[in-house]
Amino acid sequence: MRFYLISDNIDTQMGMRLTGIEGTVVHTPDEVSAALDKAMEMKEVGVVLMTEKALKQCTDKVMEYKLTRTSPLIVEIPDRHATANISDTISRYLADAVGIKL
């Protein structure tokens, strides 16, 4: 199982490459959508990491994949340009998944 990164900036991609995670840099909604489709078809990829800004460019497609596919797992990650507080993101996931509000 491998990780694959879809990032909106080269800094995040370079950092992930140092850890052995390959990926792509995208800037437009069409590029994000195409990269996500490609990653979802890679048999060896178990987790798709997406930066916050990239994920926001195709939220509907991400939610569709999350609801209809069991693999690979799509995970939103913060990067140096992230606007969301990571604890708020985790709290939102818990509230959506199991109905717990922290």
3-state secondary structure of 20: coil
| pLDDT confidence tier of residue 89, bands split at 50, 70 and 90 | low
Average pLDDT estimate for 83-102: 61
The Cα–Cα gap between 39 and 97 comes to: 24
pLDDT 10s digits, 21-78: 999 999 999 999 999 999 999 999 999 999 999 999 999 999 999 989 989 999 998 8
Instruction: Please tell me the pTM assigned to this model.
Output: 0.78
Residue 79: per-residue pLDDT: 73
- Bridge-based pairing of strands 2-7 and 22-25 is parallel
Residue 88 reports pLDDT greater than 70? no
